[in-house]
Structure 1
Amino acid sequence: MASMATDPPGYDTRSAPVGADASDDADVLAKLGYKQELRRNFTMIEVFGIAFSIMGLLPSIASTLAYTIPAGPVGMVWGWFVASAFIFVVGLAMADLGSAMPTSGGLYWWTHYFASPRFKNPLSFLVGYSNTLGLVGGLCSIDCTISHHGTDGASLMLLSIVVVAKDGNWSPTNGEVYCVFLAIVLLHGIFASTLSKVMGKLQTAFVVMNFILIAATIIALPVGKRHSGERNSGAYIFGQMENLTTWPTGWAFMLSWLSPIWVIGGFDSAVHMSEEAANATKAVPYGILMSIGSCWFFGFIIMIALAACINPDLEAVLGSKFGQPMAQIYYDAIGKKGTIGLMTILTFVQFLMGLSMIVACSRQSWAFSRDGALPFSSFFRPISKRFGYIPLRTVWGCAFLAAVLGLLSLIDAAAAQALFSLAVAGNNVAWGTPILCRALFGRDKFKPGPVYTGDKLSLPIAWLAVTFLVFGIILSMFPTGGPNPTPDTMNYTVVINCAVWGGALLYYFIDARKWFTGPKMTLNLDDLSEEQQRAIADEGMKVEGVEPVHVKGSSDNDEGESGLAAKKLENGA
């Protein structure tokens, strides 16, 4: 494509990392109908870093041990390995799309582009809301707690250090847990607002902290266990199947997949950082695949170490007086002081996870408000130049919504588990829909980017990814303890996610269908060459409020529109 005639107002190409061709990135973004508004402060390694730090491998494994331990070492070790392999397939399918069309609102943008004309607007609307609320739910489940029968967030991890220090003779109330959660979310909002200029560089430090914690754990646990008691045998680690649920043993193994499904659930953050990434067509797909691959490999090693050192009385570990299975595993191997030390690092790394998550979540929310789909979009839309060209208002909007959703933890564990289910099922819908639309409707429209799985493999990979994501949604809706649950052990995933999906669609058909027409262009058309206008027309972009004028040589899109009007489009229209 030809270069932009002028840089978008307020954009400083000098903010791009050294060696990055900011004009090329701006041209790729212009092809999707958007002007460059955010600063491209993230290198490829830093895009990987934000995805990997959101996953926060060891803290996330610690948070979800209650899903893997009931299936025994086989569920911990092989459940992780098999589920991670399928997640990597999903990553491959998303990498194809992320390389071809890198934009912060990628998931709903791709859905709108590939879906059939009849369904593209409602499906795009659904995906945008499902992804936005799924990310906020992910932030809540990172920072909040779902009790020892679900995920344990940073608030409970922090308080578990106090419990260990008091030898298990104290337990926090739900109110105390929520207050700690609220303080953590507030700190995330402050840091995400004030550290924006160095946030990319911080991701490298976050990754280093993750690997320090992983190394400390896989070294300290076996060494400590050698002195405190006998380590488990290889036959136990790789072949011992347990079933602490009332489900059939095979299904208990399947439920252990919920741990890697939740843990390796932040890879789409690479997509949401597209407009802040240098060389985005490569940085985004590699960020996706490197983060999933790293978690697959190192998570497998961590699970082997945990299975080698865990107390074979698994019910005692799950019912730990410390309220956190990981704390009990540490305590059994390295004692009180070692546990406090490692749990402190674990909690800090989990805090960094939440910080990276609120950054990614705010970018998705900003992209969705840029297209006018969120309530109060005009309020959330502006970019703060003072704080480093970031969507400051959506940072605090996400923090506020997380604080409200976190109130569920004050009700009971079953209600709070909705936060976990919102992150899993909501994001699975958001990931699977554009991949499905591309496989069903967009085969001829898809134009590969520089990272591509190939003509022969791309579609089979897409179909396998969609199949796994559908299975993951179904899996997340099962009560983990067994059939015939009580109100306290019921899984309310169906309720919370149907409320989100049904509410989004209801909102669309009652009101939003009158004004939501998909992604909006933010470019000044006078600044585009005829070639750029033709390229945008080929993408099927619709310009609201402008009479379509045919651009010679451009192809008609699937809604019968013929190109773009070569007249000025007001900024933000």
Structure 2
Amino acid sequence: MTRSVDKEMISQEVGVGATTQDDWDMQRLGKTQQLKRNFRFYSIFGLTTTLMATWESILLTSTYGLIDGGPAGMVYVYIASFVGFFCAVISMAEIASISPTSGGQYHWVSEFAWPKYQRFLSYLTGWLSVLGWQAAFASICYLCGTLIQGLLVYNYSGPDGWLYTYERWHGTLFTIAIAVIGTVVNTWGYKILPPMEGLILAIHIFGFVAVMVMMWVMSPDQPQASGESVWKEFTNSGGWSSMGLACLVGQLTPIFSWTGPDAATHMAEEVQNAALIVPWCMVSTALINGSLGFIMLVTLLYNMGNIADVLNPASGFSFIPAVNHATGSVAATNGVAAIILIMEVCSAIGILATASRQTFAFARDDALPFSKHLAHVNRNTQIPVCSVLVSTIITVLLSLINIGSTAAFNAVASVMIAALFTTYILPIAAVIRVRFEPSGIPPSRFSLGALGLPINVFSLAWLCFAIIFTFFPTANNPTPVDMNWSILVFGAVVIFAIVLYIVHGRRVYRAPVTQVRKVD
């Protein structure tokens, strides 16, 4: 149950960089302002937009959609998935406006879920959110590392150059290097992070324009695909029982490209005027990235050449031969890949910031081992340095798995989407429950109004449907190496969280709802 207090009883003393509304929100939520609010709309918008890096991810993960669904399948699945994704984003944006806290989904579940299950569901949501963001950081660092390896294979193999031998331990070293870069920026470079995110946003937009223009006009002699093949050609290279099923499995490409719409929420306690800025940032990020991603997808499909020539490339990335065909230039292909690599490294910086804040918030409620240390905020930097360093160490340790087995590492990394989707499902379901209560949901500065309930229901249905296909392998009847083992890892984490709650969490976990003040 929440504590009740008159609004006049809440102090109006403003924290560092906070508005009066921010201070009031924090006190209503029962939290102390510990982090400096040095993010404004443009800087937090830059962090979330480049963190998702949708147009870059469309190119990087295009292999999945090309195998399962083909050109037309990718187009229509992208459009349909975006509708569901956008409804989920605006549903969470409204909740974020009600409770703008770094805890995000686990706090929302604690505040709005069924009273009998609030504490347990909140604890489970928190663990899945921590897992999802830690896996996201490991995944993006590994993706950058393997992209570097892919470029080495592309440039230094064959008769014109020395032969580069692809080794798994090389990928691990590159992964660790990217993680270290993210750590340096998030600790020693903490002062430049907000303005740097604004600069990165500009690079994200101008890089998109540069890549798109190169692919359309640089090599007019290269044949472009016809509208018939782009909009009507479906493929089922994965061997699924029907074309419809193949397209649904192929939606992993757009889903992966939209990972992390809740990032702004976990940075909320560092955003000025968070109750208004955070939800609008989430909505703006979804619209901008969704549009750029679709334009880049169409650009790729028209200019990539024969689909058979871009699948199973030696570099491991289908976009490299696709861009090479579109531009007819090795230098241009390297330039495009370099832009994508830079943007993905910037994405890693934002993901580490988000992952560390999620870890900090959950530890603040005594939910994690060594919570006292993980929730500690450095007085000089006003950031949770310990949570940043622990997040980096986790990625370094996970990257070592790749030396022994890439499949085992992928199993851990790929659980990211399922874990994060689950943390979207639970709070939206909880808010639907509250809407049927006489008092309804609390007022917010970003409101869906009368459309709230149908949007919530639709987004919940889409999330439950989409999460099923995140557990599918790329092809039917996979070998053990090609199998998607994320469901095993996901199940193990859920079981671990349940057991930990029973033996430890239920005694020490301070559910956020017990600290929230209901304003009369």
**Larger relative helix fraction:** 2
What is the SS of the residue equivalent to 1:90? Answer: helix
Find the aligned partners of 1:6 and 1:103 in 2 and give their Cα distance.
Answer: 18
Q: Partner of 1:311 in structure 2?
A: 305
1:68 to 65, 68, 72: 65
Q: 2:223·2:305 contact (CA, 8 Å) conserved in 1?
A: no
2:446 to 443, 451, 454: 451
Q: Partner of 1:77 in structure 2?
A: 75
Q: Partner of 1:132 in structure 2?
A: 130
- Which amino acid in 2 is paired with 1:105? G
What is the SS of the residue equivalent to 2:139? Answer: helix
Find the aligned partners of 2:103 and 2:436 in 1 and give their Cα distance.
Answer: 21
Offset, 1:23: 2.1
1:474 to 468, 487, 495: 468
Q: Partner of 2:341 in structure 1?
A: 347
Q: Partner of 1:331 in structure 2?
A: 324
2:41 to 25, 41, 44: 44
Counterpart check, 1:236 vs 2:229:
yes
What is the SS of the residue equivalent to 1:320? Answer: coil
- Structure with larger RCO (C-alpha < 8 A, sep 6+): 2
Q: Partner of 1:150 in structure 2?
A: none
Offset, 1:278: 1.1
CA offset digits 1:25-84 (Å, max 9, x no partner): 111111111121111111122222211111112331222112111121112222222211
Find the aligned partners of 2:323 and 2:296 in 1 and give their Cα distance.
Answer: 13
Structure 1 residues not aligned, in runs of 5+: 145-152, 523-535, 540-553, 555-573
Structure 2 residues not aligned, in runs of 5+: 1-6
- Which amino acid in 1 is paired with 2:171? V
1:32 to 12, 29, 51: 29
Counterpart check, 1:299 vs 2:258:
no
Find the aligned partners of 2:13 and 2:373 in 1 and give their Cα distance.
Answer: 25
Offset, 1:90: 0.3
Tell me whether 433-442 or 269-278 shows the greater mean CA deviation: 433-442
Counterpart check, 1:490 vs 2:483:
yes
Q: Partner of 1:210 in structure 2?
A: 204
Offset, 1:506: 1.1
Q: Partner of 1:546 in structure 2?
A: none
Counterpart check, 1:425 vs 2:423:
no
Counterpart check, 1:281 vs 2:279:
no
Find the aligned partners of 2:413 and 2:285 in 1 and give their Cα distance.
Answer: 21
Q: Partner of 1:87 in structure 2?
A: 85
1:219 to 189, 213, 218: 213
What is the SS of the residue equivalent to 1:538? Answer: strand
Offset, 1:328: 1.2
Aligned length: 505
Q: Partner of 1:54 in structure 2?
A: 51
2:155 to 152, 158, 165: 165
Offset, 1:240: 1.3
- Which amino acid in 1 is paired with 2:212? I
Percent of paired sites with the same residue: 26
What is the SS of the residue equivalent to 2:261? Answer: coil
Q: Partner of 1:550 in structure 2?
A: none
What is the SS of the residue equivalent to 2:495? Answer: helix
Q: 2:73·2:234 contact (CA, 8 Å) conserved in 1?
A: yes
What is the SS of the residue equivalent to 1:343? Answer: helix
Find the aligned partners of 1:462 and 1:318 in 2 and give their Cα distance.
Answer: 38
Find the aligned partners of 1:185 and 1:7 in 2 and give their Cα distance.
Answer: 38
Offset, 1:426: 0.2
What is the SS of the residue equivalent to 2:512? Answer: coil
Offset, 1:5: 4.3
Offset, 1:201: 1.4
Find the aligned partners of 2:431 and 2:332 in 1 and give their Cα distance.
Answer: 50
Find the aligned partners of 1:31 and 1:285 in 2 and give their Cα distance.
Answer: 18
CA offset digits 1:254-299 (Å, max 9, x no partner): 1221112111111100100111111111111111111111121111
- Which amino acid in 2 is paired with 1:361? A
Find the aligned partners of 2:103 and 2:109 in 1 and give their Cα distance.
Answer: 10
Q: 2:144·2:341 contact (CA, 8 Å) conserved in 1?
A: yes
Find the aligned partners of 2:371 and 2:50 in 1 and give their Cα distance.
Answer: 29
Find the aligned partners of 1:225 and 1:461 in 2 and give their Cα distance.
Answer: 45
Q: Partner of 2:95 in structure 1?
A: 97
CA offset digits 1:501-541 (Å, max 9, x no partner): 1111111012211222412888xxxxxxxxxxxxx5427xx
Find the aligned partners of 1:469 and 1:407 in 2 and give their Cα distance.
Answer: 32
Flag the 1:225–1:235 CA change in 2: closer, same or farther, 3 A. farther
Tell me whether 193-202 or 134-143 shows the greater mean CA deviation: 193-202
Counterpart check, 1:365 vs 2:365:
no
Offset, 1:7: 4.5
Q: 2:111·2:512 contact (CA, 8 Å) conserved in 1?
A: no
Q: 1:221·1:333 contact (CA, 8 Å) conserved in 2?
A: yes
Find the aligned partners of 1:502 and 1:219 in 2 and give their Cα distance.
Answer: 49
2:120 to 113, 122, 132: 122
Q: 2:64·2:250 contact (CA, 8 Å) conserved in 1?
A: yes
Q: 1:56·1:353 contact (CA, 8 Å) conserved in 2?
A: yes
Find the aligned partners of 2:351 and 2:19 in 1 and give their Cα distance.
Answer: 25
Q: 2:434·2:441 contact (CA, 8 Å) conserved in 1?
A: no
Computing the radius of gyration over CA atoms, which structure comes out larger, 1 or 2?
A: 1
Tell me whether 37-46 or 168-177 shows the greater mean CA deviation: 168-177
Q: Partner of 1:149 in structure 2?
A: none
Tell me whether 252-261 or 368-377 shows the greater mean CA deviation: 252-261
**TM-score between the two structures when normalised by the length of structure 1:** 0.85
Find the aligned partners of 2:276 and 2:412 in 1 and give their Cα distance.
Answer: 32
Offset, 1:97: 0.1
**TM-score between the two structures when normalised by the length of structure 2:** 0.93
- Which amino acid in 1 is paired with 2:65? T
Offset, 1:167: 4.0
Q: 1:134·1:427 contact (CA, 8 Å) conserved in 2?
A: yes
Tell me whether 129-138 or 72-81 shows the greater mean CA deviation: 72-81
What is the SS of the residue equivalent to 2:223? Answer: coil
Q: 2:113·2:430 contact (CA, 8 Å) conserved in 1?
A: yes
Counterpart check, 1:385 vs 2:383:
no
